[in-house]
Amino acid sequence: MNRRSFMTTTAITAAALSLGLGRAAWAADPLKVAFMYVGPVGDMGWSFQHDQGRQAVEAAFGDKVITSYVENVPEGPDAERVLTQMALAGNQLIFATSFGYMDAVMNVAAKFPNVRFEHATGYKRADNVSTYDARFYEGRAVIGTIAGRMTKTNKIGYIGSFPIPEVVQGINSAFIHARKVNPAVEMKVVWAYTWFDPAKEADAAAALIAEGVDVLMQHTDSTAPQAKAQEAGIYTFGQASDMGAFAPAPRISSIIDNWGPYYVARVGAMLDGSWASSGSWEGIGAGAVGIGEISDAVPAEVKAEALALAAAIGAGTYHPFTGPLNKADGSAWLAAGQVADDGMLSGLNFFVEGITAQMPQ
């Protein structure tokens, strides 16, 4: 071997060792994962539950991951700024946890093709963008059943956040199942136009209570409606988290969002190299939606009825949107025995027959 060939061989070997060491060091680096929340982690609702999922990731993977979060990020330009900062900070996986973040996610994802993004409740995807959601309407069917049995005034109130399909699904599902057990039920709806604003949520609750409702539901994130209901002596349901501090009354049960299993699975996919763009929409059966403990304020037979419904939904033997069902204007929607498919539900923009509240345009 001449000197030149020896030097070349030595250089190649050294380079290979260096590359190998570099890859090993990179592989040993913790995966950086960031979460962006629309409300505070202390809201005891939506953002709180997402942060419980983040903590589940830390518990599952230990020093293999480093997680971080930014809370109280408004939907709009601020979201794009925060997502950009997260990507520039070296986060390899970013969870954006509110519907209104959708366009910001798509814009930033296009600029950072090597970063993976997950968008909660959205529908736009790309090679590096996945979406995930939960079938909240399944849980609304269960608590709607309880509400229909528990009301004495036959007036149930519902605080809506924004008139998007996710929220409209929930209002319709709660009403359909309340009326199944109590044909005299009316549904009163007030739109708060916020996900988290305790003052607005309290005002919405007060307006509904003034209309005579004695059972209150919400698709907003704070416990302010619970406090108003407690003052008025009416019943409520926890939203997103259990809100058990208000049990046994006014909170008589809850719909619980369980994001932990999804977050653990997706971070695991990043760690083992199997992550791919996908869409997830799971419900009671998969554990993504839970029903909180039903308090002793609810009669045993009503509790049994509600739990039987939850079991049927979870087993796939019953679908909350099964015909015959008409639209609020009386026109036909689902024929007897027909089940709404995911395409119908994803674009749902009308109330079902019997709800007299106006749908915002």
Tell me what pLDDT residue 43 has: 87
The pair of three-digit structure tokens given for residue 294, joined into one six-digit string: 């039903």
Rounded-to-integer distance, Cα 315 and Cα 309, Å: 10
Tell me what pLDDT residue 133 has: 96
Closest CA to 38 of 67, 68, 70, 86: 70
> For every one of its 361 residues, what pLDDT tens digit does the chain have, with 9 covering 90 and above?
332 333 333 333 333 333 343 333 344 699 999 999 999 998 888 999 999 999 999 999 999 999 999 999 999 899 999 999 999 999 999 999 999 999 999 999 999 999 999 999 999 999 999 999 999 999 999 999 999 999 999 999 999 999 999 999 999 999 999 999 999 999 999 999 999 999 999 999 999 999 999 999 999 999 999 999 999 999 999 999 999 999 999 999 999 999 999 999 999 999 999 999 999 999 999 999 999 999 999 999 999 999 999 999 999 999 999 999 999 999 999 999 999 999 999 999 999 999 999 898 7
Integer CA distances (angstroms), 113 to 67, 83, 105, 278, in order? 20, 13, 12, 16
Tell me what pLDDT residue 12 has: 34
Integer CA distances (angstroms), 27 to 21, 22, 30, 47, in order? 10, 9, 8, 31
pTM of the model: 0.88
The answer to whether the beta carbons of residues 176 and 187 sit under 8 Å apart is no
Rounded-to-integer distance, Cα 326 and Cα 353, Å: 5
- What are 257's strand-pairing partners? 289
The pair of three-digit structure tokens given for residue 324, joined into one six-digit string: 């015959």
Q: What is the CA radius of gyration of the chain?
A: 24
Tell me what pLDDT residue 277 has: 98
126's CB contacts (< 8 A; 6+ apart) are 106, 109, 110, 277
Collapsed DSSP state (helix, strand, coil) of residue 322:
strand
At position 91, the amino acid (one-letter code) is N
